[in-house]
Structure 1
Amino acid sequence: MDIGVTISKVRKEYKEYLRETHPDWADTTISTHVSDAFYLYQNTIALSFWKCFESDAAMEKAKGEILDYLKQEVMSDRADERTAQYYRDLKRLKEFIDSKGGVKTYIGYEYDCEVIVYKYAKMVYDGTMEMDAAVKAMCQDVPCFGETSHKLTIMLFASMMKGVKYTRRSNTETTVYFIVHIGKDYGQEQMVNALKATQENIKYYYEQTGNKSNSIRRGCKKIVEENNIDISFDDEIFDGIIPKENTDTALSSDATATHYWLYAAGDGSANWENDYAEGIMAIGWSDLGDLMEYSSKEEMRAKMKEVYGDTGSYKNQVLATWQFANELKPGDVVFVKKGRKQILGRGLVEGEYVFDPERGQYANTRMVRWTDKGEWELSDQGAIKTLTDITSYTDYVKKLQNMIDGDKHEDTFDDAADEEITFEPYTADDFLTDVYMDEDRYKVLKSLLLTKKNVILQGAPGVGKTFAAKRLAFSIMGEKDTNRVKMVQFHQSYSYEDFIMGFRPTETGFELRKGVFYEFCRQAAEDDRPYFFIIDEINRGNLSKIFGELFMLIESDKRGVELQLLYADEQFSIPSNVYIIGMMNTADRSLAMLDYALRRRFAFFELAPAFSSAGFRAYRTKVNNPKFDRLIATVEQLNDVIANDDSLGEGFCIGHSYFCTNATINDEWMRSVVEYELIPLLKEYWFDEAVKVKDWSRTLREVVK
């Protein structure tokens, strides 16, 4: 079950306890000890965090789990030393919990909530209790979750018993407890069913989101090892699965952290007085039914198009409904807004998502304890959407908090409205028609980009790298949505300040300006569709300098992880739906070899001259010019010479794009290409072999004279 709210409460009280018992400790020291005390929970090492504080034997077991984790997964060469450090802080936390009456008393029903929900789910499956009665009892015994959540838990149990894939998520503790006790109560055959169903859920979830469910897999691995069951939970289960272009969850450095939201209580916040009186927040789109029934944003989008008409992408609507049901959580702070320049209230989320059809249009609800009510004016426009996560804008959140608490500050947050625009469709067939590449290589390239998230197209001058990059993006999007494609060119003076953010001179001094990649990522984070950032001449820039602290975050398994930005009090991450396509000329002799850090983060795909491709042959047929055919044949011969030249090689071959044009191909056009593009290139290639340049220049001129 989700113990995030309780964890946050215990953290806060434990911090105060350390302040009282260790008055000589600085705040930074206290924070370190608090973090280390929760190391088990933060890394999902212990399957039941609270059970660790039950006895001395449980504490020793926890110590062993920390040591195993550091040795086997972290592969730390200081595992013993670090384990001793974390264990000291874990024991100190136990002393605090014991001072509160012990873990069962202090934590309450959440201590063994997985035991409670298992009991009722089992009774429903065995036929000794009706679903409605069980849900009612579960809501009484485990009140931090709503009816929908408890119904899904009962359905989860049934799916495990049948060995059928389930598409909703349960946390590690509940999943593992269910599997273990299904084995104890029903035998190993049923345990195998539960493991198979969970493996299918993990694979399904990876396909939908790219998340490999490491903590659940760790728990399942222990079960199969202890029971000698031949079911794999290693990375091999993901072979052949390409995650969808969208993602519904992101990696987080701290899943228990409080999030901050802007919320519109109906049109123009017309429902605000009612929300305040009832202690709720509610959003519309009730025609979708229970939002927890949807396993992905794409399912929500499809339903919206079915119900409300196939117009636009429903980007903002899908994001709001998904976040309201799946990402908003108890303990989060909500600011109620009216329009884009007024705040009406502030509250603390206290309940899980509930679908209440009796409420009519605003049937999607959550319980909220409203702490503040009034009218606060903003100097600049805020977000227009119904629900907006503003957590990463830490400066803005502080200003809102201070404004309501009486220390008013001006706000600078702005989020432009999103207009739905229809774009021209673009398919894989369109790509194959436009780009001279066979279908198998296209599939390989697409798979590389979707899996690795970062690809460099490399090749000789004129092979169409830029052209292919944009159309690759369009083909994956399924449309020519230029708003989701951004292109820049790196050079030796390109900097972090251009790319992420930095101070720039103004008439009155300096101001902090956001860079092109920062803005692009913020735009992509508000959407679930793929976005493509294209970097021309990527090897000409100093990647470590340009990306700065974000360089490691471009790796596929680091997407969604937040880091503190250099110039702003702001947490920032690269969304998992951002794909980076770099381009580089293999013929660029002025550049040193790329460093390992760049090569490790990108897949490399070679684009070669495509004179022999079916697409280019069709293009030649369309041109229908014998002299043009002879020129191409001569260039192919020239490429053979270049490829076999020890000082050059295939990376210097002349590309087909020199000869692709919408202009009329006549003698004058061909002579221009030869004289002003090909011959200057040969002079650069063979700068110390004048005879070879002269011979080939004469050959090319003869063809087009």
Structure 2
Amino acid sequence: MAVMHQLAAKACVALLTVLRDVGSLSPAEAWTRVRERAPEVEHDWVGPGGLTAGALLRVQVNHLVKAGWVYRDDQRWEITSAGRAALRVHPSPQELGSALAEAYDHWVDRQHAYWRAFELAGAIPEGRWAADSDVAAIAEVSARHLTALLEAERPPGWRRVLGSGGRVPNLDTSCFQAWWDELAAEGLRHQNGHFDRVYQLGREDLRQLLAPPETLRRAWLLRSDVAGNNLATLWLADGFCSLHAHLLREMAPGASRAEVHAAVEDDYGEVATYSERTKLTTEVYSFLSQMSPGDLVVTYTDADYHIGTLTADPPWFKPSANSLATLRRRVEWFAGQPIPHDSIPAALFAKMTPPGDLIELPDAVPDLLELVGDREPSAPFTLPDIDQDFARKLYFPAEWLQECVELLRERPQLVFDGPPGTGKTYLARKLAAHLTAGKPQNVTFIQFHANYAYEDFFEGFRPIDDGEGGMRYVKRDGPLRTIVTAARRHPDQVFVLLIDELNRCNLPLVFGELYFLLDYRDESVATQYSPEEPFILPRNLVIIATMNSADRSTRELDAAMRRRFAFKTLHPDERPVCDLLAEWLRAKNLPDEAAIRLEQLNRLIQHRDFKIGPAYLMRESIHNGGLERAWATQIMPALHELHAGDRAALEQYTLSALRQARSS
């Protein structure tokens, strides 16, 4: 008679085969088909304590899930991509049983680390993704086992963990299309089977998601002026803060927004306007359900600010004189107060300007803790100087590059403009890498085009499937808001937003109210889709853009935009670009003909914006017999617009014509 582990292995092979061939099945259907495929499992089974063969299969399914080979919910079992692979590699019961035992033992030994990986997956925000290798490295687990387990366990956020380059890691899974569609519905752009890296969270960002709760505390401004009475003295004396909601019924801490909305509509429907009820709903919901122990609370009198910490006591309702302070939370106010108005940093003060009795102060905790002496001042970010080695690699003068850094220190917006082929985008990328100390996660690259809009750039609503055959709209962050969030989390680091083809779009429509912030980095604005959240451009975010001066389809920058950017021109007739190709050829020990012909060509071209930059010819393959091909296929097409339809006029720019003119 077969021993237990042999029958268990046969049952697993039969189950995986059935699920592979038939698809997902209910446990009862799966057991029926396993008996049909391997009747000896039931026939030979004699279980201890009356354990049936069907119960044996359920035990094995638990092992299969922990191996990452089967997905199980309350109604069905389904083979995973890893399960299909295991069946291919281990077709016999003996082989598969051994592999299953090894995989299950690995889970038992490392389960706490995998739970940490699951927690990290659940913390990845909607509309972002992380590489399986990064999640695995942080949790100290195997990336291969992790992707298998994520598909088998399917914890919250599991689909946001992708393979290298942003691809769905388990291509052989039956849920591939749903996986793909869900991420696309979250607003992640994709191309050629890969989701865009602009949405990827790096390892440092992922570590921040698992930071201890105290580092994730929030800050709130609670105004103490209620119906002409300043309650700050009462709050400070009795150790609490309060929200004016005198008509509101008592509600439990943690009430949902829908519950608060219903109560406010009932209790204030006849005495408050729609906008007043909406405001009160937001404030009561925040007070009851979003403010947490450890959060900071700020209030002020005519002359001073006061800062405190919410205790673990839940919010409560208490009748008070004149019903001014009915909804309360316990606060431990910092000693050594008050803080004078003029001690508040400008950037922090800007966050306190929106109206409302209770508003959240985004990314304000470090500044507030510094004010009360509870935290060492954070190291300021610095834009690093240019060193000779960096300049030498770019074949640019160090002084010219250093001037770019100085301009960014004065005003953190810079444009490289000039004709095509002058290396604008290449230089912008290299400079961004230098400024961010080589951290790719600190650089975001975008390209403007004629249809680019505010909603693409900053924030907007996107339609997604509501799961019931209809559509609903969700708010999505654009690349600017995403990189601003990262810059706020790391105020000691430099972040760079690269904008290619700056003048290809309608800039006033794309930037909207954000125009103002380019001049006033310490001020806040109310944005179009999130007016309740004060938005600030942090000073550690640098914007570097490029403009193609030869493209006639582009728009002229208006005076308002030109005033907000510094400009550095890259032109073939001017240093450093005019010497760039010759220096590069000398450094590579290559013939100098390309530099001679390019200089000759640009002398013939009368229109300044159509002169040709050296980047077209800065590839070694061109100088190993490929100069003629590069000239015909890259440089000549770039000149067609200069003499549209006049082939005779273009003939003077051909390589053969230039050579002949030089020799005559």
What TM bracket, shorter-length normalisation? Answer: 0.3 to 0.5
Greater share of helix: 1
The structure that has the greater radius of gyration is: 2
Q: TM-score, normalised by structure 1?
A: 0.42
